[in-house]
Amino acid sequence: MILRIALLSLLVLGSTIVHAQSDAKQLYDAHCAACHGAERLGGTGPALIPDTLSRMRGPVLAKVISEGRASTQMPAFADKLSQDDITALADFLGKPLASIPSWTEADITASRSFNADYKAVTSPTFKADPLNIFLVVETGDHHVSVLDGDTFDRLDRFATPFAVHGGPKFSPDGHFVFIMSRDGWVQKYDIWALKEVGRVRAGLNARNIAMSKDGKWLAVANYLPHTLTILNSEDLSVARIFDVADRTGVTSRVSAVYQAPTRNSFVLALKDVAEIWEISTDPNAEPVLEGYVHSHEKGMVEAIPSSQGLFARRRIAISQPLDDFFFDPEYRNLIGAARDGNKAVVVNLIVGREIAELPLPGMPHLGSGISWMRDGKRVMATPHLKEAKLSIISVDDWSVVATIPTEGPGFFLRSHESSPYVWADVFFGPNKNAMHVIDKQSLQIVKTLRPVPGATVAHVEFDRYGRHAVVSVWEDDGAIIIYDAKTLEEVRRIPMRKPSGKYNVFNKITFSEGTSH
Protein backbone atom coordinates (compact mmCIF):
# COMPACT_ATOMS: atom_id res chain seq x y z
CA MET A 1 0.00 0.00 0.00
CA ILE A 2 2.76 2.43 0.98
CA LEU A 3 4.68 1.53 -2.17
CA ARG A 4 1.58 2.12 -4.31
CA ILE A 5 1.06 5.56 -2.73
CA ALA A 6 4.74 6.43 -3.27
CA LEU A 7 4.55 5.42 -6.93
CA LEU A 8 1.35 7.38 -7.39
CA SER A 9 3.01 10.43 -5.81
CA LEU A 10 5.95 10.14 -8.18
CA LEU A 11 3.62 9.90 -11.15
CA VAL A 12 1.72 12.97 -10.02
CA LEU A 13 4.97 14.85 -9.39
CA GLY A 14 6.34 13.84 -12.79
CA SER A 15 3.11 14.93 -14.45
CA THR A 16 3.31 18.26 -12.63
CA ILE A 17 6.90 18.82 -13.76
CA VAL A 18 6.09 18.00 -17.38
CA HIS A 19 3.03 20.25 -17.19
CA ALA A 20 5.09 23.09 -15.71
CA GLN A 21 7.72 22.72 -18.44
CA SER A 22 5.00 22.69 -21.07
CA ASP A 23 3.43 25.82 -19.60
CA ALA A 24 6.82 27.54 -19.52
CA LYS A 25 7.40 26.66 -23.17
CA GLN A 26 3.97 28.07 -24.03
CA LEU A 27 4.80 31.24 -22.11
CA TYR A 28 8.06 31.53 -24.03
CA ASP A 29 6.32 30.99 -27.39
CA ALA A 30 3.72 33.61 -26.56
CA HIS A 31 5.91 36.34 -25.07
CA CYS A 32 9.56 35.78 -26.00
CA ALA A 33 9.94 33.91 -29.30
CA ALA A 34 9.19 36.89 -31.53
CA CYS A 35 12.34 38.67 -30.35
CA HIS A 36 14.53 35.84 -29.11
CA GLY A 37 13.79 33.14 -31.68
CA ALA A 38 11.64 30.02 -31.59
CA GLU A 39 14.61 27.90 -30.42
CA ARG A 40 15.89 30.52 -27.90
CA LEU A 41 18.86 31.18 -30.18
CA GLY A 42 18.26 34.90 -30.65
CA GLY A 43 16.71 37.27 -33.14
CA THR A 44 16.35 40.99 -32.57
CA GLY A 45 17.03 40.08 -28.95
CA PRO A 46 19.89 37.94 -27.61
CA ALA A 47 19.95 34.16 -27.32
CA LEU A 48 18.22 32.99 -24.11
CA ILE A 49 20.35 29.99 -23.22
CA PRO A 50 22.62 29.41 -20.20
CA ASP A 51 25.73 30.00 -22.32
CA THR A 52 24.75 33.60 -23.01
CA LEU A 53 22.85 34.23 -19.77
CA SER A 54 25.64 33.07 -17.45
CA ARG A 55 25.65 36.40 -15.62
CA MET A 56 21.88 36.62 -15.32
CA ARG A 57 20.62 33.55 -13.50
CA GLY A 58 17.95 32.81 -10.91
CA PRO A 59 16.31 35.82 -9.27
CA VAL A 60 18.26 38.23 -11.48
CA LEU A 61 16.78 36.76 -14.65
CA ALA A 62 13.31 36.78 -13.09
CA LYS A 63 13.79 40.45 -12.23
CA VAL A 64 14.66 41.29 -15.83
CA ILE A 65 11.54 39.47 -17.06
CA SER A 66 9.45 41.29 -14.48
CA GLU A 67 10.91 44.79 -14.78
CA GLY A 68 12.45 44.85 -18.24
CA ARG A 69 15.93 46.09 -19.05
CA ALA A 70 16.80 49.77 -19.15
CA SER A 71 18.08 51.25 -22.41
CA THR A 72 17.02 48.17 -24.41
CA GLN A 73 13.86 46.99 -26.16
CA MET A 74 13.23 44.45 -23.40
CA PRO A 75 9.78 45.32 -21.91
CA ALA A 76 8.52 44.62 -18.40
CA PHE A 77 6.11 41.69 -17.99
CA ALA A 78 5.05 42.25 -14.38
CA ASP A 79 1.65 43.51 -15.54
CA LYS A 80 1.16 40.65 -18.03
CA LEU A 81 2.45 37.59 -16.16
CA SER A 82 1.96 36.30 -12.63
CA GLN A 83 4.94 35.85 -10.34
CA ASP A 84 4.59 32.07 -10.72
CA ASP A 85 4.69 32.44 -14.52
CA ILE A 86 7.76 34.65 -14.31
CA THR A 87 9.53 32.14 -12.04
CA ALA A 88 8.61 29.25 -14.34
CA LEU A 89 9.82 31.15 -17.39
CA ALA A 90 13.13 32.05 -15.70
CA ASP A 91 13.65 28.40 -14.75
CA PHE A 92 12.91 27.32 -18.32
CA LEU A 93 15.43 29.79 -19.77
CA GLY A 94 18.08 28.56 -17.35
CA LYS A 95 17.96 25.01 -18.70
CA PRO A 96 20.41 23.99 -21.45
CA LEU A 97 19.22 23.05 -24.92
CA ALA A 98 18.54 19.39 -25.57
CA SER A 99 21.17 19.21 -28.32
CA ILE A 100 23.95 21.30 -29.84
CA PRO A 101 22.34 23.48 -32.50
CA SER A 102 23.85 24.02 -35.92
CA TRP A 103 24.74 27.39 -37.40
CA THR A 104 25.76 26.90 -41.00
CA GLU A 105 27.47 29.07 -43.57
CA ALA A 106 24.03 29.78 -45.03
CA ASP A 107 22.78 30.92 -41.62
CA ILE A 108 25.78 33.19 -41.15
CA THR A 109 25.44 34.65 -44.63
CA ALA A 110 21.73 35.30 -44.14
CA SER A 111 22.45 37.21 -40.92
CA ARG A 112 24.69 39.79 -42.58
CA SER A 113 23.42 43.36 -42.62
CA PHE A 114 25.02 46.66 -43.56
CA ASN A 115 24.43 50.26 -42.57
CA ALA A 116 22.79 52.06 -45.52
CA ASP A 117 24.03 55.41 -44.17
CA TYR A 118 27.68 54.36 -44.13
CA LYS A 119 30.08 55.88 -46.64
CA ALA A 120 33.71 54.81 -46.82
CA VAL A 121 36.38 57.41 -46.01
CA THR A 122 40.10 57.50 -46.74
CA SER A 123 41.14 59.66 -43.77
CA PRO A 124 39.78 60.46 -40.31
CA THR A 125 36.80 62.82 -40.13
CA PHE A 126 38.10 64.30 -36.85
CA LYS A 127 41.24 66.14 -35.75
CA ALA A 128 42.27 63.79 -32.93
CA ASP A 129 45.26 61.45 -33.29
CA PRO A 130 43.65 58.35 -34.89
CA LEU A 131 46.17 56.05 -33.19
CA ASN A 132 45.50 57.46 -29.74
CA ILE A 133 41.79 56.68 -29.76
CA PHE A 134 40.16 54.77 -26.89
CA LEU A 135 37.14 52.53 -27.22
CA VAL A 136 35.29 52.15 -23.92
CA VAL A 137 32.82 49.27 -23.70
CA GLU A 138 29.82 50.31 -21.56
CA THR A 139 28.06 47.07 -20.69
CA GLY A 140 25.44 48.86 -18.57
CA ASP A 141 23.45 49.79 -21.65
CA HIS A 142 25.34 48.01 -24.47
CA HIS A 143 27.19 50.96 -25.99
CA VAL A 144 30.77 51.90 -26.86
CA SER A 145 32.20 55.37 -26.33
CA VAL A 146 34.95 56.61 -28.66
CA LEU A 147 37.36 58.94 -26.86
CA ASP A 148 40.19 61.23 -27.97
CA GLY A 149 43.17 59.84 -26.07
CA ASP A 150 44.77 63.27 -25.67
CA THR A 151 41.79 65.29 -24.41
CA PHE A 152 39.46 62.41 -23.42
CA ASP A 153 36.60 64.18 -25.14
CA ARG A 154 33.91 61.85 -26.50
CA LEU A 155 33.87 61.66 -30.31
CA ASP A 156 31.00 59.19 -30.63
CA ARG A 157 28.84 56.76 -28.66
CA PHE A 158 27.22 53.90 -30.55
CA ALA A 159 25.04 50.89 -29.74
CA THR A 160 26.52 47.39 -29.79
CA PRO A 161 25.00 43.90 -29.82
CA PHE A 162 23.94 42.46 -26.46
CA ALA A 163 26.72 41.57 -23.96
CA VAL A 164 29.98 42.47 -25.70
CA HIS A 165 32.72 40.05 -24.68
CA GLY A 166 36.35 39.25 -25.35
CA GLY A 167 37.81 42.64 -26.27
CA PRO A 168 37.48 44.52 -29.59
CA LYS A 169 40.07 43.86 -32.29
CA PHE A 170 41.47 46.52 -34.62
CA SER A 171 42.61 46.42 -38.24
CA PRO A 172 46.42 46.81 -38.47
CA ASP A 173 46.13 50.48 -39.51
CA GLY A 174 43.62 51.30 -36.77
CA HIS A 175 40.94 52.26 -39.30
CA PHE A 176 38.34 49.66 -38.31
CA VAL A 177 37.37 47.88 -35.13
CA PHE A 178 35.48 44.60 -34.75
CA ILE A 179 33.33 43.99 -31.67
CA MET A 180 31.88 40.62 -30.65
CA SER A 181 28.94 39.74 -28.42
CA ARG A 182 28.40 36.61 -26.34
CA ASP A 183 25.71 35.41 -28.73
CA GLY A 184 28.01 35.48 -31.71
CA TRP A 185 27.34 38.81 -33.38
CA VAL A 186 30.34 40.58 -34.90
CA GLN A 187 30.01 44.30 -35.49
CA LYS A 188 32.32 46.23 -37.84
CA TYR A 189 32.78 49.92 -37.04
CA ASP A 190 34.74 52.53 -39.02
CA ILE A 191 36.68 54.60 -36.46
CA TRP A 192 37.74 57.19 -39.03
CA ALA A 193 34.15 57.75 -40.20
CA LEU A 194 32.62 57.22 -36.72
CA LYS A 195 30.01 54.94 -38.30
CA GLU A 196 28.96 51.31 -38.08
CA VAL A 197 29.69 49.43 -41.31
CA GLY A 198 27.67 46.28 -40.66
CA ARG A 199 27.34 43.12 -38.62
CA VAL A 200 27.06 39.36 -38.95
CA ARG A 201 26.26 36.49 -36.61
CA ALA A 202 29.24 34.14 -36.79
CA GLY A 203 28.04 31.72 -34.09
CA LEU A 204 25.37 31.24 -31.46
CA ASN A 205 27.56 31.59 -28.39
CA ALA A 206 31.05 32.99 -28.87
CA ARG A 207 34.07 33.64 -26.65
CA ASN A 208 36.35 36.05 -28.47
CA ILE A 209 37.77 37.13 -31.81
CA ALA A 210 41.23 37.57 -33.32
CA MET A 211 42.49 39.59 -36.29
CA SER A 212 45.05 38.14 -38.70
CA LYS A 213 48.39 39.91 -39.04
CA ASP A 214 47.54 41.24 -42.50
CA GLY A 215 44.07 42.36 -41.39
CA LYS A 216 42.27 40.26 -43.99
CA TRP A 217 40.74 37.61 -41.73
CA LEU A 218 38.80 37.63 -38.50
CA ALA A 219 38.55 34.41 -36.47
CA VAL A 220 35.59 33.82 -34.13
CA ALA A 221 35.88 31.27 -31.30
CA ASN A 222 32.53 29.57 -30.74
CA TYR A 223 31.09 27.62 -27.82
CA LEU A 224 27.93 26.97 -29.84
CA PRO A 225 28.20 25.31 -32.23
CA HIS A 226 31.61 23.68 -31.77
CA THR A 227 33.26 25.62 -34.57
CA LEU A 228 35.80 28.26 -35.48
CA THR A 229 34.41 30.73 -38.00
CA ILE A 230 36.83 32.72 -40.16
CA LEU A 231 35.35 35.84 -41.76
CA ASN A 232 36.62 38.06 -44.54
CA SER A 233 37.18 41.34 -42.65
CA GLU A 234 36.32 43.40 -45.73
CA ASP A 235 32.72 42.29 -46.27
CA LEU A 236 32.06 39.95 -43.30
CA SER A 237 31.56 36.98 -45.63
CA VAL A 238 32.47 33.46 -44.55
CA ALA A 239 35.97 32.40 -45.56
CA ARG A 240 36.09 29.08 -43.71
CA ILE A 241 34.30 27.18 -40.96
CA PHE A 242 36.26 24.59 -38.98
CA ASP A 243 34.30 21.88 -37.20
CA VAL A 244 36.35 21.47 -34.04
CA ALA A 245 37.02 17.90 -32.91
CA ASP A 246 40.04 15.85 -31.89
CA ARG A 247 41.48 12.97 -33.91
CA THR A 248 38.94 10.55 -32.42
CA GLY A 249 35.95 12.73 -33.33
CA VAL A 250 35.22 14.18 -29.87
CA THR A 251 33.94 17.70 -30.47
CA SER A 252 35.01 20.72 -28.46
CA ARG A 253 34.07 24.25 -27.60
CA VAL A 254 36.69 26.84 -28.54
CA SER A 255 37.78 28.65 -25.37
CA ALA A 256 39.69 31.37 -27.19
CA VAL A 257 41.49 32.29 -30.39
CA TYR A 258 44.62 34.44 -30.52
CA GLN A 259 46.70 36.07 -33.24
CA ALA A 260 50.35 34.97 -33.21
CA PRO A 261 51.82 37.82 -35.29
CA THR A 262 55.39 36.46 -35.55
CA ARG A 263 54.00 33.13 -36.74
CA ASN A 264 51.35 34.57 -39.08
CA SER A 265 48.75 32.30 -37.57
CA PHE A 266 45.79 31.89 -35.23
CA VAL A 267 46.25 29.77 -32.08
CA LEU A 268 43.19 28.09 -30.55
CA ALA A 269 42.55 27.01 -26.97
CA LEU A 270 40.08 24.10 -26.90
CA LYS A 271 37.82 23.58 -23.90
CA ASP A 272 37.00 19.89 -24.12
CA VAL A 273 39.88 18.06 -25.83
CA ALA A 274 43.61 17.78 -25.16
CA GLU A 275 44.81 19.62 -28.26
CA ILE A 276 45.96 23.09 -29.28
CA TRP A 277 45.28 24.12 -32.85
CA GLU A 278 47.33 26.49 -34.97
CA ILE A 279 45.84 27.78 -38.23
CA SER A 280 48.03 29.54 -40.76
CA THR A 281 47.01 32.95 -42.16
CA ASP A 282 49.92 32.99 -44.63
CA PRO A 283 48.90 31.99 -48.16
CA ASN A 284 52.51 30.98 -48.89
CA ALA A 285 53.00 28.92 -45.75
CA GLU A 286 55.04 25.73 -45.97
CA PRO A 287 53.34 22.46 -45.01
CA VAL A 288 52.81 22.38 -41.26
CA LEU A 289 53.35 19.38 -39.02
CA GLU A 290 50.79 17.87 -36.70
CA GLY A 291 52.44 16.62 -33.51
CA TYR A 292 50.90 13.64 -31.71
CA VAL A 293 52.34 12.65 -28.36
CA HIS A 294 52.70 8.90 -27.78
CA SER A 295 54.23 9.18 -24.33
CA HIS A 296 54.13 12.40 -22.32
CA GLU A 297 56.60 10.96 -19.84
CA LYS A 298 59.22 10.46 -22.55
CA GLY A 299 58.15 13.46 -24.62
CA MET A 300 57.96 11.42 -27.81
CA VAL A 301 56.26 13.19 -30.70
CA GLU A 302 55.25 11.88 -34.10
CA ALA A 303 55.22 14.64 -36.71
CA ILE A 304 52.69 14.12 -39.49
CA PRO A 305 52.56 16.41 -42.56
CA SER A 306 49.39 18.45 -42.86
CA SER A 307 48.04 20.91 -45.39
CA GLN A 308 49.88 24.04 -46.53
CA GLY A 309 49.09 27.65 -47.30
CA LEU A 310 46.15 29.72 -46.11
CA PHE A 311 44.18 28.16 -43.22
CA ALA A 312 46.44 25.13 -42.98
CA ARG A 313 45.72 23.47 -39.64
CA ARG A 314 48.22 22.04 -37.18
CA ARG A 315 47.26 19.99 -34.12
CA ILE A 316 49.47 19.93 -31.01
CA ALA A 317 48.63 17.15 -28.59
CA ILE A 318 48.85 18.03 -24.90
CA SER A 319 48.33 16.12 -21.65
CA GLN A 320 45.03 17.82 -20.77
CA PRO A 321 42.87 20.69 -22.06
CA LEU A 322 44.39 24.13 -21.42
CA ASP A 323 42.64 27.50 -21.17
CA ASP A 324 43.52 31.14 -20.97
CA PHE A 325 46.84 31.51 -22.83
CA PHE A 326 49.73 33.89 -22.27
CA PHE A 327 52.41 34.14 -25.00
CA ASP A 328 56.01 35.24 -24.70
CA PRO A 329 56.86 38.30 -26.85
CA GLU A 330 58.30 36.18 -29.68
CA TYR A 331 55.30 33.82 -29.65
CA ARG A 332 57.62 30.84 -29.38
CA ASN A 333 55.96 29.58 -26.19
CA LEU A 334 52.56 29.78 -24.57
CA ILE A 335 51.49 29.16 -21.00
CA GLY A 336 48.07 27.66 -20.48
CA ALA A 337 46.09 27.15 -17.28
CA ALA A 338 45.39 23.51 -16.49
CA ARG A 339 41.82 22.45 -15.79
CA ASP A 340 42.55 21.58 -12.15
CA GLY A 341 43.34 25.24 -11.51
CA ASN A 342 46.56 24.47 -9.61
CA LYS A 343 49.24 24.63 -12.27
CA ALA A 344 50.24 26.03 -15.62
CA VAL A 345 51.77 24.20 -18.58
CA VAL A 346 54.25 25.68 -21.07
CA VAL A 347 53.92 24.57 -24.69
CA ASN A 348 56.64 25.33 -27.23
CA LEU A 349 55.00 26.16 -30.56
CA ILE A 350 58.17 25.46 -32.53
CA VAL A 351 58.53 21.80 -31.57
CA GLY A 352 54.84 21.36 -30.81
CA ARG A 353 54.93 19.86 -27.32
CA GLU A 354 54.88 20.63 -23.60
CA ILE A 355 58.26 21.70 -22.25
CA ALA A 356 57.57 22.77 -18.66
CA GLU A 357 55.07 22.75 -15.84
CA LEU A 358 54.92 25.17 -12.94
CA PRO A 359 52.78 25.28 -9.79
CA LEU A 360 50.27 28.11 -9.92
CA PRO A 361 47.42 27.37 -7.48
CA GLY A 362 44.43 29.66 -7.14
CA MET A 363 43.32 29.60 -10.79
CA PRO A 364 45.81 31.89 -12.59
CA HIS A 365 44.21 34.31 -15.06
CA LEU A 366 46.96 34.02 -17.66
CA GLY A 367 44.97 35.83 -20.35
CA SER A 368 45.53 39.02 -18.36
CA GLY A 369 49.24 38.39 -17.96
CA ILE A 370 51.79 41.04 -18.98
CA SER A 371 55.58 41.02 -19.22
CA TRP A 372 58.47 43.45 -18.74
CA MET A 373 62.26 43.56 -18.27
CA ARG A 374 63.49 43.29 -14.68
CA ASP A 375 67.20 43.27 -13.86
CA GLY A 376 67.99 42.56 -17.49
CA LYS A 377 65.67 39.55 -17.67
CA ARG A 378 62.12 39.22 -18.89
CA VAL A 379 59.45 38.31 -16.39
CA MET A 380 55.71 37.95 -16.67
CA ALA A 381 53.01 38.42 -14.06
CA THR A 382 49.57 36.89 -13.65
CA PRO A 383 46.73 37.52 -11.20
CA HIS A 384 44.81 34.66 -9.60
CA LEU A 385 41.03 34.43 -9.62
CA LYS A 386 40.84 32.53 -6.33
CA GLU A 387 43.87 33.74 -4.37
CA ALA A 388 44.97 37.17 -3.17
CA LYS A 389 48.30 37.34 -4.94
CA LEU A 390 50.20 37.98 -8.14
CA SER A 391 52.75 35.45 -9.40
CA ILE A 392 55.94 36.71 -11.07
CA ILE A 393 57.45 34.17 -13.49
CA SER A 394 60.81 34.08 -15.24
CA VAL A 395 60.33 33.68 -18.97
CA ASP A 396 63.85 32.25 -19.27
CA ASP A 397 63.27 29.08 -17.26
CA TRP A 398 59.53 29.30 -16.45
CA SER A 399 60.05 29.38 -12.68
CA VAL A 400 58.03 31.39 -10.17
CA VAL A 401 60.52 33.99 -8.92
CA ALA A 402 58.26 36.04 -6.62
CA THR A 403 54.77 36.32 -5.20
CA ILE A 404 53.11 39.66 -4.39
CA PRO A 405 50.34 39.54 -1.76
CA THR A 406 47.27 41.66 -2.65
CA GLU A 407 44.08 42.65 -0.84
CA GLY A 408 42.05 40.09 -2.76
CA PRO A 409 41.90 38.02 -5.96
CA GLY A 410 42.33 40.11 -9.10
CA PHE A 411 41.23 39.96 -12.71
CA PHE A 412 43.34 42.40 -14.77
CA LEU A 413 46.95 43.61 -14.93
CA ARG A 414 48.12 46.51 -17.06
CA SER A 415 51.25 48.58 -17.68
CA HIS A 416 53.06 50.45 -20.45
CA GLU A 417 56.60 50.34 -21.81
CA SER A 418 57.22 53.89 -20.52
CA SER A 419 55.75 53.26 -17.07
CA PRO A 420 57.71 52.00 -14.02
CA TYR A 421 54.49 50.57 -12.56
CA VAL A 422 52.12 47.65 -12.92
CA TRP A 423 48.47 48.35 -12.07
CA ALA A 424 46.56 45.45 -10.51
CA ASP A 425 42.89 45.46 -9.53
CA VAL A 426 41.28 43.59 -6.63
CA PHE A 427 38.22 42.42 -8.50
CA PHE A 428 36.75 40.00 -5.97
CA GLY A 429 35.89 40.27 -2.31
CA PRO A 430 35.38 43.09 0.19
CA ASN A 431 38.33 45.14 -1.10
CA LYS A 432 37.08 45.34 -4.68
CA ASN A 433 37.45 49.15 -4.55
CA ALA A 434 41.26 48.84 -4.36
CA MET A 435 43.72 49.34 -7.23
CA HIS A 436 47.35 48.42 -6.45
CA VAL A 437 50.19 50.29 -8.16
CA ILE A 438 53.33 48.12 -8.07
CA ASP A 439 56.95 49.00 -8.85
CA LYS A 440 58.21 46.78 -11.69
CA GLN A 441 61.70 46.41 -10.25
CA SER A 442 61.20 46.19 -6.47
CA LEU A 443 57.84 44.40 -6.85
CA GLN A 444 56.55 46.49 -3.94
CA ILE A 445 53.10 48.08 -3.81
CA VAL A 446 53.88 51.81 -3.90
CA LYS A 447 50.29 53.01 -3.65
CA THR A 448 46.77 51.62 -3.33
CA LEU A 449 44.09 53.79 -4.92
CA ARG A 450 40.50 53.73 -3.60
CA PRO A 451 38.64 56.24 -5.77
CA VAL A 452 35.06 55.10 -4.97
CA PRO A 453 34.33 53.41 -1.62
CA GLY A 454 32.41 50.16 -2.04
CA ALA A 455 32.53 50.16 -5.85
CA THR A 456 34.35 47.69 -8.08
CA VAL A 457 37.41 49.42 -9.51
CA ALA A 458 39.03 47.48 -12.34
CA HIS A 459 40.70 47.29 -15.76
CA VAL A 460 43.37 49.86 -16.59
CA GLU A 461 44.47 51.00 -20.03
CA PHE A 462 47.17 53.52 -20.90
CA ASP A 463 47.20 56.05 -23.72
CA ARG A 464 49.66 55.39 -26.54
CA TYR A 465 52.44 57.39 -24.84
CA GLY A 466 51.92 56.04 -21.33
CA ARG A 467 51.13 59.50 -19.96
CA HIS A 468 47.72 58.60 -18.55
CA ALA A 469 46.22 55.48 -16.98
CA VAL A 470 42.46 55.06 -17.37
CA VAL A 471 40.59 53.11 -14.67
CA SER A 472 37.00 51.81 -14.69
CA VAL A 473 34.47 52.18 -11.90
CA TRP A 474 32.71 48.96 -12.85
CA GLU A 475 29.18 49.94 -11.79
CA ASP A 476 25.98 50.75 -13.68
CA ASP A 477 26.29 54.36 -12.52
CA GLY A 478 30.06 54.17 -12.91
CA ALA A 479 32.75 56.22 -14.55
CA ILE A 480 36.21 56.14 -16.04
CA ILE A 481 38.90 57.89 -14.04
CA ILE A 482 41.96 59.32 -15.78
CA TYR A 483 45.15 59.34 -13.70
CA ASP A 484 48.50 60.98 -14.35
CA ALA A 485 50.64 57.88 -14.84
CA LYS A 486 53.68 59.46 -13.12
CA THR A 487 52.18 61.32 -10.16
CA LEU A 488 49.26 58.86 -9.73
CA GLU A 489 46.95 61.86 -9.20
CA GLU A 490 43.42 61.95 -10.60
CA VAL A 491 43.07 64.21 -13.66
CA ARG A 492 39.47 63.74 -14.79
CA ARG A 493 36.39 61.63 -14.14
CA ILE A 494 33.80 60.85 -16.85
CA PRO A 495 30.44 59.22 -15.91
CA MET A 496 29.65 56.03 -17.85
CA ARG A 497 27.33 53.01 -17.70
CA LYS A 498 29.41 50.15 -16.29
CA PRO A 499 32.55 50.72 -18.38
CA SER A 500 33.93 47.18 -18.35
CA GLY A 501 36.91 47.61 -20.66
CA LYS A 502 38.99 50.25 -22.44
CA TYR A 503 41.11 49.67 -25.51
CA ASN A 504 43.72 52.03 -26.99
CA VAL A 505 44.24 51.67 -30.74
CA PHE A 506 48.03 52.08 -30.73
CA ASN A 507 48.66 49.77 -27.80
CA LYS A 508 46.53 47.04 -29.33
CA ILE A 509 47.83 47.14 -32.91
CA THR A 510 51.47 47.26 -31.73
CA PHE A 511 50.97 44.45 -29.19
CA SER A 512 52.23 46.56 -26.31
CA GLU A 513 53.84 44.42 -23.62
CA GLY A 514 51.73 46.22 -21.03
CA THR A 515 48.34 45.03 -22.29
CA SER A 516 46.72 41.67 -22.94
CA HIS A 517 46.39 40.49 -26.52
- In the prediction, which pLDDT does 58 show? 59
Q: Which of 121-130, 256-265, 360-369, 483-492 has the lowest mean pLDDT?
A: 360-369
- In the prediction, which pLDDT does 85 show? 86
User: Of 273, 236, 267, 231, which Cα lies nearest the Cα of 251?
Assistant: 273
- In the prediction, which pLDDT does 73 show? 66
Tell me the per-residue pLDDT of 42-56, one tens digit each, with 9 for 90 and over.
Answer: 665 677 877 667 655
- In the prediction, which pLDDT does 10 show? 41
Q: Which residue has the higher pLDDT, 390 or 28?
A: 390
Question: What average pLDDT does range 307-311 have in this prediction?
Answer: 79
User: Of 450, 451, 455, which Cα lies nearest the Cα of 476?
Assistant: 455
Gyration radius (Cα) of the chain, Å: 24
Band the pLDDT of 273: cuts 50, 70, 90.
very high
Question: What average pLDDT does range 385-395 have in this prediction?
Answer: 95
- In the prediction, which pLDDT does 289 show? 58
- In the prediction, which pLDDT does 51 show? 64
Question: What average pLDDT does range 20-34 have in this prediction?
Answer: 78
- In the prediction, which pLDDT does 98 show? 77
Give phi and psi for 39, each to the nearest 5.
Answer: -105, 15
Is 229:254 a contact under the CB 8 Å cutoff? no
Residue 20 has pLDDT above 70, yes or no: no
Tell me the per-residue pLDDT of 145-165, one tens digit each, with 9 for 90 and over.
Answer: 999 999 999 999 999 998 898
Angle between helices 58-67 and 83-93 (to 10 degrees): 120
- In the prediction, which pLDDT does 8 show? 45
Residue 232 has pLDDT above 90, yes or no: yes
DSSP at 366: G
Tell me the per-residue pLDDT of 446-496, one tens digit each, with 9 for 90 and over.
Answer: 999 999 999 999 999 999 999 999 999 999 999 999 999 999 999 999 999
- In the prediction, which pLDDT does 9 show? 47
Amino acid making up residue 308: Q
Tally of residues, the chain: 517
- In the prediction, which pLDDT does 14 show? 45
Angle between helices 2-31 and 83-93 (to 10 degrees): 90
What mean pLDDT value characterizes the chain? 88
Residue 301 has pLDDT above 50, yes or no: no
Torsion angle of C-alpha atoms 7, 8, 9, 11, degrees rounded to 10? 90
DSSP at 77: -
- In the prediction, which pLDDT does 12 show? 43
- In the prediction, which pLDDT does 39 show? 76
Question: What average pLDDT does range 332-347 have in this prediction?
Answer: 88
Q: Which residue has the higher pLDDT, 165 or 99?
A: 165
113: left (phi over 0), alpha (psi -120 to 50) or beta: beta
Residue 136 has pLDDT above 60, yes or no: yes
Report in angstroms the alpha-carbon separations of 364 from 14, 290, 460, 466.
43, 28, 19, 26
- In the prediction, which pLDDT does 17 show? 41
Residue 259 has pLDDT above 50, yes or no: yes
Nearest-5° Cα angle at 441, 439 to 446: 20
Is 195:118 a contact under the CB 8 Å cutoff? yes
Question: What average pLDDT does range 381-407 have in this prediction?
Answer: 95
Structural domains in the chain, CATH included, are 13-93 (1.10.760.10)
Is 457:449 a contact under the CB 8 Å cutoff? yes
Q: Which of 16-25, 281-290, 402-411 has the lowest mean pLDDT?
A: 16-25
Q: Which of 231-245, 295-309, 374-388 has the lowest mean pLDDT?
A: 295-309
